[in-house]
């Protein structure tokens, strides 16, 4: 078996061992968005409405997903961020080669497996809004999930990013490109293992629908 084939096979086997189907009767929400959308504004409104009207103790996990994964691996959070978006580096090859050297650190597979466990554990508990971190892909086979995608025209997202980070248009364009590339690299680590077709429950154009109205739409759509 060629090295590339062996690498892909090991990825698949390791993924199958951790990606176990689960059942839950409590709903959860995943939110994925194009870079430059009003994610924080929407999530804040949605959380407030859910806890006021549903009275079920809803919570949000976004950056906490990586923090929890880092704690389980006993490494710094920035190690995960850098490892999963660094360009041109095959961390799985490092992991395999390390056996002959007698040492190893967290491989890409180990990192993604741990993130999967954290995300799926929280989705299983229910009443959770999972923001980004490929949560829609990781929980694609779980019932009672509502998968939301936020989008908007690129000019609108550039202007929104200018306001969010107080940037000139030129710098906002560069920042948008950087964010999109990092997001793609991160999601690519998970997408290759998903065997079923991915689809969003709701797609919301934020240039046309305010965060307030979007929150209402999401709440009406909960399973």
pLDDT, one tens digit per residue, over 11-70 is 554 444 444 444 557 899 999 999 999 999 999 999 999 998 866 689 888 766 666 666
77 part of a folded domain: yes
pTM comes to 0.74
For 12, the 3-state DSSP assignment is helix
223 occurs within a structural domain: no
Q: Tell me how far the alpha carbon of residue 111 is from its chain's centroid.
A: 13
Q: Please indicate, yes or no, if residue 79 is contained in any of the structural domains.
A: yes
55 in a structural domain:
yes
Q: Which residue range forms the structural domain that includes residue 150?
A: 3-217
pLDDT band at 219 (very low <50, low <70, confident <90, very high): very high
pLDDT averaged over the chain?
78
pLDDT, residue 24, reads 54
Predicted confidence band at 204 (pLDDT cuts at 50, 70, 90)? very high
In a domain, 109, yes or no: yes
Please identify which residue in the block is written with the tokens 């950056």: 63
CB atoms within 10 A of CB 178: 11
CATH code, domain with 190: 3.40.50.300
Q: What confidence tens digit (pLDDT) does each residue in 157-197 have?
A: 999 999 999 999 999 999 999 999 988 888 888 876 676 66
Stretch 81-103: mean pLDDT: 45
- Residue 101's pLDDT is 40
222 assigned to some structural domain: no
Does residue 175 sit within a domain? yes
Q: Where are the beta strands (DSSP E) in the chain?
A: 28-33, 59-61, 128-131, 145-151, 202-205
As a whole number of angstroms, the distance between CA 107 and CA 94 comes to 7
Contact criterion met (CB below 8 Å) for 36 and 204: no
Q: How many domains does the chain have?
A: 1
Whether 124 and 132 have beta carbons less than 8 Å apart is answered as no
* φ, ψ at 4 (rounded to 5°): -65, -40
26 in any annotated domain: yes
């Amino acid at each position: 078996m060629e090295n590339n084939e062996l690498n892909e096979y090991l990825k698949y086997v390791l993924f199958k061992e951790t990606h176990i189907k689960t059942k839950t009767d409590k709903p959860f929400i995943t939110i994925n968005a194009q870079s430059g959308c009003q994610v924080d504004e929407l999530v804040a409104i949605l959380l407030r409405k859910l806890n006021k009207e549903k009275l079920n103790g809803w919570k949000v996990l976004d950056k906490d997903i990586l923090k929890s994964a880092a704690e389980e691996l006993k490494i710094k959070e920035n190690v995960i961020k850098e490892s999963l978006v660094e360009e041109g580096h095959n961390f799985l090859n490092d992991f395999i080669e390390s056996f002959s050297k007698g040492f190893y650190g967290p491989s890409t597979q180990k990192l993604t497996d741990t993130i999967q466990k954290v995300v799926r554990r929280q989705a299983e508990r229910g009443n959770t809004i999972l923001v980004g971190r490929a949560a829609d892909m990781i929980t694609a086979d779980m019932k009672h999930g509502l998968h939301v995608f936020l989008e908007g025209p690129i000019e609108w997202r550039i202007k929104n990013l200018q306001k969010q980070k107080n940037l000139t248009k030129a710098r906002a364009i560069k920042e948008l490109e950087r964010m999109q590339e990092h997001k793609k690299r991160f999601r690519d680590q998970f997408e290759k293992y998903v065997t079923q077709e991915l689809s969003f429950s709701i797609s919301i154009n934020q240039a046309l629908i305010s965060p307030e109205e979007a929150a209402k739409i999401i709440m009406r759509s909960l399973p």
